[in-house]
Structure 1
Amino acid sequence: MGVSRDTQLRALQPLKAILQGNGKEIFQFAYKTMRDGGDQLSQIISLSTRFTIEEIPPQFCNFFQHVRGPSPVYAWVKYERKEDSNCTEVLSRAKTTGRRGSVFGSNDRYVQLSLIRRQDGFDFLIQRFTDLVSEENRAESM
């Protein structure tokens, strides 16, 4: 049993990036990809009154030797409405999954979302939150 051609081609892209320079390009690519995903999710959630997302301040990066903004692999989302205290259930009704806050010693108003996904999975997550926020805005305007 071998490795599929599709998998080989996917693995080739980061290897080419590593071989092109001094190796920092792959870390720059990863940083930019994760930062952009986190920014995109934060931007959508900022339009909501039901959900908030953890704000992460810029910090000094030992690898690049300067202050950089966050590039999160997880996002902590909080459900703000008092009538429903379980964010996981709210998101599961919208066909979105995350890990309950209680797994991490918090309460279930919080959900940890993984941002490390294939692009189509991440696009699906963004679309689900866009739909949730749009639905919320329609309900508030009635």
Structure 2
Amino acid sequence: MYEAFWKSAGAAADISIASWTSLSYFSDVTNLCWFLEPQLAHQIRRLHRLVGNAVAGEDRFIIVGTGSSQLFQAALYALSPPDAAEPMSVVSLAPFYSTYPPLTDYLRSPLHKWAGDASKFAGDRYIELVCTPNNPDGSIREAVLCSGEGKTVHDLAYYWPQYTPITHPADHDIMLFTLSKTTGHAGSRIGWAVVKDRAVAKRMIQYIELNTIGVAREAQLRAAKILQLVSDGYESPNPDKEMKLFDFGRQKLAARWHKLTEAVQASGIFTAPSFEPAFCNFTGDVSENLPAFAWLKCEKEEVEDLESYLKEKGIMVRGGSRFGKEARYARVSMVDHDEAFDLFVQRLAAMS
């Protein structure tokens, strides 16, 4: 979806990297996160300050990762006591992001284990994952568990103004973000965590040291340039209206959600979530929640597996069972190319 925006940017967000630069593992030996490029750290803090979606001042630790997936694993490592008799239970309220369970259990680590739906968990030792706005259903969430021994990780990949009203600056112990959802640059594999506690940040950094010996410096430099252009689009003395990424994203998603709503109504067999508008501090007005995914439910009694049903109709989705819900639910991407999205809503509207 973002490709058209970045094509219009032309060379403004391009970078050139000399072959003799960035040879070392080290980016900044004075920083706790020694593999974090200073330019990227600056642009991350600048963008959060501009948008107002997270407290990311100098008293917070910024940790860069190879996408937020690596940072998620680093957070589990940092929050799981190494000498505990039992693995730490990892939970999230259903429907939860489908990759949480396999990422948690992939290495069969003695440190942590997937324990399912947070609403059904009974225990004092846990790590709760709070994804808000939530993937897959777009809901705004808070932690549902409360225990002195429990830990919480906030996945804020979609807490940006193209997807949802920015109602307050998030200020949690561990907050995860990713370039892929902020600007569309999934292939750069850049994510970042904003962490309060130095000891937790140090253990997360240790995980990344052991896992990949840092993060590609070229990708970080590209990400820094991309984020700079996003902030410049709003903060330069004479901002270019065409270079306002969040405005572009909101306009695209608003039009797409309108089309999807019409297609759902035309079919008569699907339902999709609806959301209450809220005042957005970034835009300065009341705005809608426009998730990057549509959480569809099929009301047709004979359709018990919506993923398989839609696949037969030429639509690829992820079924509800992957997210801890019934198979008559499915998640559909709202951020594909225009041609693919238009074809999707045409096929959806034609069903009955």
TM tier relative to shorter chain? 0.7 to 0.9
CA contact (8 A) 1:35 1:72 kept: no
Q: Deviations over 1:99-126 (max 9, x none)?
A: 1111111111100101110111111111
- Return the offset for 1:88: 0.9
- Return the offset for 1:22: 6.2
- Return the offset for 1:66: 2.5
- Return the offset for 1:49: 2.5
Distance 2:9 2:240 in 1: 13
Q: Secondary structure at the match of 1:56?
A: coil
Q: Which has the higher helix share?
A: 1
- Return the offset for 1:65: 3.0
**What are the equivalent positions in structure 2 for 1:35-114 lying under 5 Å apart?**
35-114=254-333
Q: Which runs of 4+ in 1 moved over 3 A?
A: 14-20
- Give the TM-score of the pair, scaled to structure 1: 0.76
Instruction: Tell me the matched-pair count.
Output: 126
Identity %: 25
CA contact (8 A) 1:32 1:71 kept: no
CA contact (8 A) 1:99 1:113 kept: yes
- Give the TM-score of the pair, scaled to structure 2: 0.33
- Return the offset for 1:59: 2.2
Gaps (5+ residues) in structure 2? 13-229
Match of 1:3 in 2: none
**What are the equivalent positions in structure 2 for 1:16-31 lying under 5 Å apart?**
18=233, 21=239, 25-31=244-250
Match of 2:42 in 1: none
Alignment RMSD (CA, Å): 2.6
Q: Deviations over 1:47-97 (max 9, x none)?
A: 233111111221232321322012221001101122221111111110101
Q: Deviations over 1:22-66 (max 9, x none)?
A: 677321111010111011101110223311111122123232132
Does the C-alpha gap of structure 1 residues 25 and 80 become closer, same or farther in structure 2, counting only changes over 3 Å? same
